Structure 1
Amino acid sequence: MKHLKVHYFQHIAGEGFGSCGTYLKSMGAQLSATEFFALPLDRSLEIEALPNIEDVDLLIIMGGTMSVNDEANFPWLKMEKRWLRRYLATGKPAIGLCLGGQMIATALGANVSRNPEQELGWTTVYKTPSVQKDCFQLPDELEVMQWHSETFEIPKGAVRLAENAVCMNQMYQIGKNVLGFQFHPEITPEVLRLFIDNEEHDQVFQGPYVQSFNTLKKSKSEQFNASNQLLNRAIDYVLQSQKRSQSLSQLKIEKEC
């Protein structure tokens, strides 16, 4: 039996895989990761150091505290984008979470820039009314964890799936194999504690849409569960695209024989 090979791009230490790691392990998936945070900042990354695209069945790009535009301070960003363009060109499944969603967008030529307001904490996002029935389906509204200063433009050919008044572009879909999130559906109590510890030290978030840490520390389990279940469905959705592609390829081979 062939095991699903899932590769993560991880940008900050200690973040782990969030809820999706547990879900994928329950499916018997083999997990591997590229830890960009462990690379020396004074050395650029060679593309050969990244995994062979043929060895990845699903790519998940995690969040991070850096900007996708800060290639001067994080030189590996340029190589990550280059590898991403090659991977996405194959039509394989990919999911981007917060910085990860921004990475996919910028790799495909969309702009990533400062959002008018910072978002931090539990907020509500809304399903975009014009989303077609054959797209990934969201509930009409959903409470999610936000932790971002920047935002992505919707890449050319993509569909906006979710929005709110503070940040218009909350989620997008490319084909049926790529989903990009601005928020953090993978959030768990452990990941939230890590985020809070980092922010309490750095103090870079402020404004009317930044929730207090005292409030966040009282988060209830059902708040995490709804987002985690959404991410599980997202994983299933993009993996179905791979199964459809493989079935079509097999059918073509059989017709040619």
Structure 2
Amino acid sequence: MKKLKVHYFQHIAGEGFGSCYDYLKTLGAEITATEFFALPTDLSFDIEALPDVEDVDLLMIMGGTMSVNDEVNFPWLKIEKRWIRRYLAQSKPAIGLCLGGQLIANALGASVTRNTVQEMGWSTVYKSNYIEKDCFQMPAEIQVMQWHSETFDIPKGAIRLAESKVCANQLYQIGTNVLGFQFHPEITKRVLDIFIEHEEELNIFQGAAIQAISELKNSQSQQFIQGNQLLNQAIDYVLRV
């Protein structure tokens, strides 16, 4: 039986796969990674240094503190987006998480811009109204982790699946093989601790949709479960398990 080859693009040191690592292992996945954060910013980085598209059965694109538009300070973003376009041209399964969802959208020509407010912390996301039958099924509402300043436009040909009161575009679907999340269904306590550490150091977030760091540090284990299960279902959906 052919092994499922999963590759993930990682943009923050220590972030890893989040909750879905163990689930992918139950599917017998062979997991590899490209760690963009480890690349020198002045490196002449070529697309051929990334995996062969044919060797990837599922692409997972993780979050990050940078903007998809900041190609000057992170020149590898151009290469990453070129590779994503090459990969998606073959209609292969992909899931983007926060920055990852923005990268897929931007690689396909959609704009990524500053959201009207920053979102940080636990919040409610609602299922959008759509009539297409063969769509990934969101619950009517779900509590999820938000951690973003920017938002993606829905790519041409995609369907919006979820929204929140302060950010209209929270999840989109392209075909039946691509899902782009604005929120973080993969969040675990360990990953949240990394996010909190970054925020305490950089002090990026402020505004009405920001949850206090002291409250986030007291997040309970059951708060992570819904999002983690949703991501497992998303993996099944794009793989057609």
TM-score interval, normalised by the smaller of the two chains: over 0.9
Per the alignment, residue 101 of structure 1 pairs with 101
User: 2 CA distance for matches of 1:130 and 1:176?
Assistant: 15
- How much identity, in percent, do the aligned residues show? 71
Shift of 1:25: 1.0
Counterpart check, 1:132 vs 2:127: no
Shift of 1:212: 0.5
User: 8 Å contact 1:169–1:182 — kept in the other structure?
Assistant: yes
Amino acid at match of 2:83: W
Per the alignment, residue 73 of structure 1 pairs with 73
Name the SS for the 2:2 alignment partner: coil
Shift of 1:68: 0.1
Shift of 1:14: 0.5
Amino acid at match of 2:20: C
Per the alignment, residue 52 of structure 1 pairs with 52
Name the SS for the 1:195 alignment partner: helix
Per the alignment, residue 147 of structure 1 pairs with 147
TM-score relative to the length of structure 1? 0.92
Task: Report how many residues are paired.
Answer: 241
Shift of 1:130: 2.2
Cα-Cα RMSD: 0.8
User: 8 Å contact 1:131–1:161 — kept in the other structure?
Assistant: no
Amino acid at match of 1:178: V
Per the alignment, residue 90 of structure 2 pairs with 90
Larger radius of gyration: 1
User: 8 Å contact 1:119–1:148 — kept in the other structure?
Assistant: yes
User: 8 Å contact 1:104–1:180 — kept in the other structure?
Assistant: yes
Name the SS for the 1:169 alignment partner: coil
Amino acid at match of 2:52: N
Counterpart check, 1:42 vs 2:42: yes
Q: Could you list the structure 1 runs, at least 4 aligned residues long, displaced by more than 4 angstroms after superposition.
A: none
Shift of 1:131: 4.5
Per the alignment, residue 23 of structure 2 pairs with 23
Amino acid at match of 1:65: T
Name the SS for the 1:235 alignment partner: helix
Per the alignment, residue 180 of structure 2 pairs with 180
Structure 1: where are the runs of 5+ without partners?
244-257
